[in-house]
Structure 1
């Protein structure tokens, strides 16, 4: 398969996937990739270094683990020794098929990875009709840059160890790929409606006053852990809710504009859930607290400045109760 044909398959898959709901880098999504690598042969083969071009397809078993299979063909491989009357070096044909597991680190646009698996290599044998076949162990590392929710660029290095010849060979190259077909995260369940007690017998209507308590928790960049200075504010809100057991609240998470919409949506949900769990840990019944993430859609400050982005990385909640005036 020629490289231009492989790239054509990737572009065709991108057009076919344009109508699909896309959640990149999630469990259940699929990646297809076209790659080109510089191939450094083992010295015992008496071959010059060449290239390996081909394609691969993978399936995300989890948000971080990708199972990948691929096939490449060798280009520009020639023997170092010269043959025949014209004293030319002989061209060598061959291919490399592989299956590997790839583990990705972190979240967001840049994702480093490590990989490991097995490969089967076939090369022409000089002056013979049969082929040199060997099974190889693969290990590699590199980084992917997700340009958007669909497309990514990849650069990496792979080392291959042949079991049959005890040879070690290297490959370094780049790839262009497409990610599509992931499943969207389930929406948070709404809190159940509070149970309304039976109306008591008519009494003289007391004078009531509304009391409101608001919570504003700020977060560090790309983090969902609660900073220590906001624990007292969360405890105060929990005590208020335990004092007035009929009130409920919705915890709303937000992010700044750095990163993709999909990643920021998930980050805002994780922040909201972190504050919700903190309220529950302080003794508030789980049915009285719900959580929702708004991503970067509701800024309260200018995302063009550090100070503005710091204000937008927040979780907000408020409760209101009617208190009898004595």
Structure 2
């Protein structure tokens, strides 16, 4: 089988819980709306902070611990008014539910907590509670996200409800440092006493740097697999779109031209992403963008039955995902030609 690798860099999502970092700290500010029978006067201002660990290979995407502080808590029950403050400690499991775009999505949470009141109020005491909630997350950069969240905390005693609504600012810590995958250097062919071509690739043994090339592979003058690299390709897509920009479609035409010059060839388009985002989401994203390049090739006259696509997601990096430059190299689509 003949193979020609063409590197085409493709944009990937910033949004996901399994992000480019291992830990996340999120300061929050918002309010608390308490059930009427608790006797609290109006909504209370609430501030807090959360510390989360991103999880991999599990059903849930994050485990987080949090503290919420409510100041100037005023309770009036049966004509008696008392003031104080509440500190609530929480432990939650977080799950990404739905991705609206590459960097904007919906998540859910479920957890337990403990409410510590500054003094014994008329009808309210310290105690545990369970909670559940929903949130919207917008990944602004690789290490910064905005989060809007609503949680319903249900006290174990009397099943009273406190509804939290908060705005959070997620800050990523401890960036992942994935070592790049480096291909082994091809072995040098041993010198032969007679100039032969043992692998029948058209390059004699005494200059063939890649012996035992599979039959039919296109090679260069050194006998190694011929590689065409399209620089600055990018294969950028419009916001929330998988349509290839006309700026880069012209570069993809080079692939179509090669197909026209070699009508016996078929092309395989393989999509790749960096490690930012959930592995499952990146897998789908790599497939969709490989399909987008395929559609562009069809527009240049390449028959659909000569094109196949697949995606590797984040599984085959060629550079360090711990750096911005390395992640840019990993966001790519590779085209391989087979006879």
TM-score (norm 1): 0.55
Match of 2:28 among 29, 32, 35: 35
For the 8 Å contact 2:145–2:169, the answer to whether it is kept is yes
**SS of alignment partner, residue 37 of structure 1:** strand
For the 8 Å contact 1:256–1:313, the answer to whether it is kept is no
Partner of 2:130: 137
2:48 equivalent to 1:54 = yes
Partner of 1:315: 334
**SS of alignment partner, residue 47 of structure 1:** coil
For the 8 Å contact 1:33–1:175, the answer to whether it is kept is yes
2:125 equivalent to 1:126 = no
User: Relative to 1, partners in 2 of residues 1:172 and 1:24: Cα closer, same or farther, differing over 3 Å?
Assistant: closer
Give me the whole-angstrom Cα distance separating, in 2, the residues matched to 1:166 and 1:118.
14
Give me the whole-angstrom Cα distance separating, in 1, the residues matched to 2:46 and 2:110.
18
User: Relative to 1, partners in 2 of residues 1:199 and 1:145: Cα closer, same or farther, differing over 3 Å?
Assistant: same
Please provide the CA RMSD for this pair.
4.5
Partner of 2:158: 165
Partner of 2:216: 243
Give me the whole-angstrom Cα distance separating, in 2, the residues matched to 1:25 and 1:202.
55
For the 8 Å contact 2:69–2:87, the answer to whether it is kept is yes
Deviation at 1:249, TM superposition (A): 5.9
Give me the whole-angstrom Cα distance separating, in 2, the residues matched to 1:200 and 1:112.
68
User: Relative to 1, partners in 2 of residues 1:155 and 1:24: Cα closer, same or farther, differing over 3 Å?
Assistant: closer
Partner of 1:79: 75
Give me the whole-angstrom Cα distance separating, in 1, the residues matched to 2:63 and 2:158.
27
Bigger proportion of residues as helix = 1
Partner of 1:26: 19
User: Relative to 1, partners in 2 of residues 1:192 and 1:291: Cα closer, same or farther, differing over 3 Å?
Assistant: farther
For the 8 Å contact 1:118–1:135, the answer to whether it is kept is yes
Give me the whole-angstrom Cα distance separating, in 1, the residues matched to 2:228 and 2:149.
42
Count matched residues. Answer: 229
- 1:104-151 residue CA offsets vs partner (Å, 9 max, x unmatched): 3558432321111111012333369xx712211111111122221222
Give me the whole-angstrom Cα distance separating, in 2, the residues matched to 1:52 and 1:119.
16
Match of 1:101 among 82, 89, 93: 93
Partner of 1:92: 84
**SS of alignment partner, residue 193 of structure 1:** coil
User: Relative to 1, partners in 2 of residues 1:188 and 1:297: Cα closer, same or farther, differing over 3 Å?
Assistant: closer
Give me the whole-angstrom Cα distance separating, in 2, the residues matched to 1:32 and 1:185.
22
**SS of alignment partner, residue 147 of structure 1:** strand
- 1:11-30 residue CA offsets vs partner (Å, 9 max, x unmatched): xxxxxxxxxxxx99537621
**SS of alignment partner, residue 190 of structure 1:** coil
- 1:262-292 residue CA offsets vs partner (Å, 9 max, x unmatched): x964569957xx89xxxxxx9xxxxxxx974
Q: How does 1:144-293 map to 2 (within 5 A)?
A: 144-194=137-187, 196=189, 198-199=191-192, 201-202=194-195, 242-244=215-217, 247-248=224-225, 254-256=234-236, 265-266=274-275, 292=318
Give me the whole-angstrom Cα distance separating, in 2, the residues matched to 1:90 and 1:203.
97
Partner of 1:5: none
TM-score (norm 2): 0.54
For the 8 Å contact 1:96–1:120, the answer to whether it is kept is yes
Deviation at 1:83, TM superposition (A): 5.5
